[in-house]
Structure 1
Amino acid sequence: MNQNQPVSFKERIHEIDGIRGFALLGILMMNIMAFAGPDIEDSLNPERSEIYTGFWNELSLFFINTFFTTNFFTMFSFLFGLGFFIFLSRAEQKGKNLAPLFYRRMFVLLIFGLLHGIFLWYGDILWTYAIAGALLFFFYRLSPKVNVIIAVLILTMITGLILLGALALFLMGDQSMAGFAFEIGMTDAIRSGSYSEVVSMNMTLLGISVSGMIFVVPIVLAMFLIGLSFGQMRVFENLPAHMNMIKKLAWYGLGIGLPIKIVTGYFTTYAGDNDIYSTLGQLSSSLGGPLMSLGYVALMLILMKHFKGLVKVLQPVGQMALTNYIGQTIIMLLIFYVGGLFNRVDAIYFVPIVLVVFTVQIILSKMWMSNFSYGPLEWIWRTLTYLNVMPIKKKGV
């Protein structure tokens, strides 16, 4: 057997793929707000587009902001950290030189992210994962307890900074965005502009997102470390032995996280024009989202234990998560950019659109994985990581 080969299907932990598939549903649910309209531009202006306003539209956004926004990019971050441990530990068992292998993997992910963010959609998260992932390598040898402590300290520090920021705004008495406007012209660029204008818009918005790295990367890294610690503790390799801990995690994660997300979801949806409430809404990323994501992971493990079919449905989607993540962008761009529906579909339709698109992805993923060992982008990623052309077709197919 070629020692450069990645994990085979039989070696995979299918529950991880299943949860990764569920995370893809949540990622699409939170991203559709930006695919369908100028959400990021509106967030920088005092007024919102009509598709985001009105009782039913705002109620739909409140639902998404509470149960999905920040809960799933933090869940994906957790899964990335877990996958990082599995990748490195198995490479180590084969006697591989870990640093070149891992950093080659992160470099390819960075290229994927930049290509995706510039030429398709500005909301890419892969490049952020690649940068935070490069830092994660230095924590591989630390104990799981130390990694969890560091993660908690990072999230606590960011939470404290958010609270201090809100307090400072309160003391200054500046509580509204009146008079502030930042025009990008997204709707015109997407509806009537050329492709080069869309690319230029993507680069502008990517530049804005780079300025937020100081806030996002530490949160991503913290969730990476928690995922890494779960891998170090071999939680997913022996789920029955850790079921009591998993049940407690579900109770505490959802029990504490949900009230926080209801409050921050309300602030984000209904009080975005108030600087103080908008700042407090960021607690969704540093506190509510991480708690909810861990609660969701634990709840999914409990459900998968009792409903085995859930793993079978979601596992193919999660096994080709990179392909499906980029695939979601392509489908959404076809609907809203090419189809001319950008800033024309009310938010009340976001949830049903996502459910239909994700159902299509479930079907296509099942068909693809019945014949191939990896998703197409996963195959490219693995081939460039191992510098070895992997066989993609399943034997006997």
Structure 2
Amino acid sequence: MYDVAGRERIHELDAVRGFAVCGILVVDIWQITDMTPTVASGEAMDPLRHWLSVLVEGRFFPMFAFLFGLSFTLFLDSAAECSARPRLVLARRLIALGVLGLIHQLFQPGEALLPYAVVGSVILLPASALPRWLILAGGLVGTAGVALTLSGGLALVPGVFLLGVAADRFGLVDDLRGRTWQIAAVFALALPAAAVTAVWQWRTPYLELWTSSIEPIAGLLGALTYLTGLLLVLRTGFGEVLAEILEPMGRMALTNYVSATALILLAERHLHLGGTTRYAALLGLAAGIVLLQAFVSYLWLSWFRYGPLEWVWRCVTWWRIVPLGGAAPEGVASMGLSRR
């Protein structure tokens, strides 16, 4: 997630980030290739696209934004232990992310890195000095207000970022493995709410979705359900196996997010998904990219401490060459969640 001197990695959140990268990939493919969402009449969604919209679209982006806000404040706290000017370090980190996002925009218009950098600079840096209750209030109001009035999308980023900051300020990620019952309680409340709103979204005619707030509301509740559900699964035997796949992908989330764009564009030269409703082919492409990135991430982190783009980002952040060779101290050969 971030590993600054003096701070331990939270491996469960690495796995959640890897999960979010996988989910975002599906939506990125149809956006980058400009696939058609509707049947020939244009009045209804393609059936498979309809299912994907309800199960995937808007569910993983809030999760990723929440984790970014959480990482922001954790990095700021850790940077304060290593630098006399931690905000300057963080500002340089955000500028580097913005430059990368600007380049990435040329190949994936609407990508997330540039908005993340801008919102982080304009909102998160000043907000980090505010009382935690005010950060939480701002996050709740910003998230709910946008979902009810602006139909979500990138407009959700500021509010969800602040919720991520508040999660750290209220200590919700401290001793995360000891909060199983709290996570289970949230999951038990979120699951039926997500199911009800998903059915509502499913039954809303396609043309009415443009003026309805059901998509962002269902997306946020779905994101909360996926987040808490995955954290519960990671506490099982199957979850330990799943973590072997997701944690390396989460630790290399930046590299995987950017490289996925290149892989999609290369694949599109042969698949020609643009303007079609071949969503089965989309799922096949997504599965292939996930398998490739999971393998490469695991292998790379067996040899190196950081992913390629993560290493460049870190060097610019600290304005020095950071050692890359050698696996991180926590290792990647066995990623059981008994380690924190």
Give the superposition deviation at 1:117. 0.7
Structure 1 match to 2:175 = 238
SS of the residue 1:374 aligns to: coil
Which residues in structure 2 correspond to 1:244-263 (within 5 Å)?
Answer: 244-263=181-200
Correspondence for 2:215 among 252, 261, 284:
284
Distance 1:347 1:9 in 2: 46
Structure 2 match to 1:178 = none
Distance 1:219 1:59 in 2: 27
Correspondence for 1:93 among 59, 81, 88:
81
Give the superposition deviation at 1:217. 4.9
Correspondence for 1:78 among 55, 66, 70:
66
Q: 1:358 to 1:239 in 2, by over 3 A?
A: same
Asked whether 1:388 is paired with 2:320, we answer: yes
Report Cα offsets for 1:5-55 as digits up to 9, x if no partner.
95269821111111100000110012222233345xx7xxxxx576x9899
State the TM-score, normalizing by the size of structure 1.
0.74
Bigger RCO (CA 8 Å, 6+ sep): 1
Q: 1:265 to 1:31 in 2, by over 3 A?
A: farther
Q: 1:8 to 1:266 in 2, by over 3 A?
A: farther
Report Cα offsets for 1:319-357 as digits up to 9, x if no partner.
010000011101100011466453356123322321221
Q: Are the counterparts in 1 of residues 306 and 324 from structure 2 also a CA contact under 8 Å?
A: yes
Asked whether 1:15 is paired with 2:2, we answer: no
- Name the larger-Rg structure: 1
Gaps of 5+ in 2: 332-340
SS of the residue 2:8 aligns to: coil
Distance 1:53 1:35 in 2: 20
Report Cα offsets for 1:53-80 as digits up to 9, x if no partner.
899x822111211111111111100000
Distance 1:33 1:310 in 2: 26
Asked whether 1:219 is paired with 2:216, we answer: no
Asked whether 1:133 is paired with 2:112, we answer: no
The one-letter code sitting in structure 1 at the alignment partner of 2:182 is: M
The one-letter code sitting in structure 2 at the alignment partner of 1:123 is: G
What RMSD, in angstroms, separates the aligned Cα atoms of the two structures? Answer: 2.8
SS of the residue 2:259 aligns to: helix
Q: 1:83 to 1:101 in 2, by over 3 A?
A: same
Task: Give the total of aligned pairs.
Answer: 325
Structure 1 match to 2:306 = 374
Gaps of 5+ in 1: 43-47, 164-214
Give the superposition deviation at 1:95. 4.3
Give the superposition deviation at 1:155. 2.6
The one-letter code sitting in structure 1 at the alignment partner of 2:65 is: S
Distance 1:142 1:298 in 2: 27
Distance 1:229 1:355 in 2: 34
Distance 1:232 1:10 in 2: 15
Report Cα offsets for 1:78-130 as digits up to 9, x if no partner.
00011111101111233431221111111111111110111x22131111111
Q: Are the counterparts in 2 of residues 253 and 293 from structure 1 also a CA contact under 8 Å?
A: no
Asked whether 1:112 is paired with 2:123, we answer: no
4+ residue segments displaced more than 6 Å: 52-55
Q: Are the counterparts in 2 of residues 36 and 345 from structure 1 also a CA contact under 8 Å?
A: no
Distance 1:395 1:248 in 2: 37
Give the superposition deviation at 1:148. 2.3
Correspondence for 1:30 among 18, 27, 46:
27
Mean Cα deviation higher: 68-77 or 304-313: 304-313
Percent identity of equivalent pairs: 26
The one-letter code sitting in structure 2 at the alignment partner of 1:26 is: G
